[in-house]
Amino acid sequence: MTEVRSQTIKLPGVELLADLRLPGNCRALVIFAHGSGSGRLSARNQFVADILAARGLGSLLFDLLTQKEQRLDNETGELRFDIPLLAKRLVDVVDWVQRDKQLQPLRVGLFGASTGAAAALLAAAQRPDVVAAVVSRGGRTDLAWSVLQRVKAPTLHIVGSEDVQVLELNRLAGRMLQCEHRLEVVPGATHLFEEPGTLGKAAALAADWFVAHLQASGSHTPNG
């Protein structure tokens, strides 16, 4: 089993808690952006990270909000939909990875859930030379309309068949994206993929996408 290493990411004016998984012979790193009201300890994202590790993919799960900000958000809900703030935090973490000697050589993908998917799409648009693949699970793509046409990274949308409103939003997003993209619908799943077997299906789809675009020989190299 891949070891999980907890650490603090020091960014300008803020410190964020993070968990890093790096399996042996790791060639790629998937940075997670969790959904509204969630955090790095999300059982769903931890499950997905373990599936990715089994496929040789590293992962970085971090809290988009500080502990003080999270307490405020728990009371008011005002920060979980502040997509510009969440996207800035994610971009800052992507830049931090590029400065880290151990992580810098790894190809980077982004995995976003719910509102975190909107932040991932904004980050991919802002760092097209670094972000090589994006996966959205139940993504609120409507919160990233303004940048969809600028996203260059191959993007996979995974949505539950019973998550009707979000499914329609993802279909609309697909018409706006100009990069390689695909929509995968998981039968019987609702927004949180709580139904038996549905999260495993979503995790397998994500792993396949990241392996194909981050690990496969001949896959697109962002810097070249």
Residues 6 or more apart from 62 whose CB is under 8 A from it?
A: 9, 16, 17, 18, 19, 31, 32, 40, 93
Residue 222 lies in a domain: no
Q: Rounded to whole angstroms, how far apart are CA atoms 51 and 98?
A: 24
**pLDDT for the residue numbered 8:** 92
Residue 220 lies in a domain: no
Which two tokens mark 184? 């995968």
Q: Are 47 and 199 in contact (CB under 8 A)?
A: yes
Predicted confidence (pLDDT) at residue 201 exceeds the cutoff of 80: yes
- pLDDT tens per residue, range 13-52: 899 999 999 998 899 999 999 876 667 778 889 999 999 9
Q: Are 49 and 207 in contact (CB under 8 A)?
A: no
How far, rounded to the nearest angstrom, does the alpha carbon of residue 78 sit from its chain's CA centroid? 21
What strands, in cross-sheet order, belong to the sheet with 107-113?
A: 4-11, 14-21, 58-62, 28-33, 107-113, 131-137, 155-160, 181-186
Q: Rounded to whole angstroms, how far apart are CA atoms 41 and 222?
A: 30
Q: Is 158 helix (H, G, I), strand (E, B) or coil?
A: strand
- pLDDT tens per residue, range 73-98: 677 666 767 888 889 999 999 999 99
> Which residues sit opposite 5 in a β-bridge?
20
Strands 107-113 and 28-33: parallel
Which two tokens mark 7? 């650490």
Residue 44 lies in a domain: yes
Read off the CATH number of the domain in which 54 is found: 3.40.50.1820
- Residues 64-81, mean pLDDT to the nearest whole number: 75
Residue 221 lies in a domain: no
Which two tokens mark 204? 């397998």
**pLDDT for the residue numbered 82:** 80
**pLDDT for the residue numbered 4:** 87
Helix-helix angle 198-210:43-54, to 10 degrees: 50
Task: Transcribe 36-104 into DSSP letters.
Answer: TT--TT-HHHHHHHHHHHHTT-EEEEE-SS-HHHHHHHHHH--STT-HHHHHHHHHHHHHHHHH-TTTT
How many domains, the chain? 1
Q: Are 188 and 135 in contact (CB under 8 A)?
A: no
Residue 72 lies in a domain: yes
Structural domain of residue 139, as residue ranges? 4-215
- pLDDT tens per residue, range 91-130: 999 999 999 999 999 999 999 999 999 999 999 999 999 9
Residue 224 lies in a domain: no
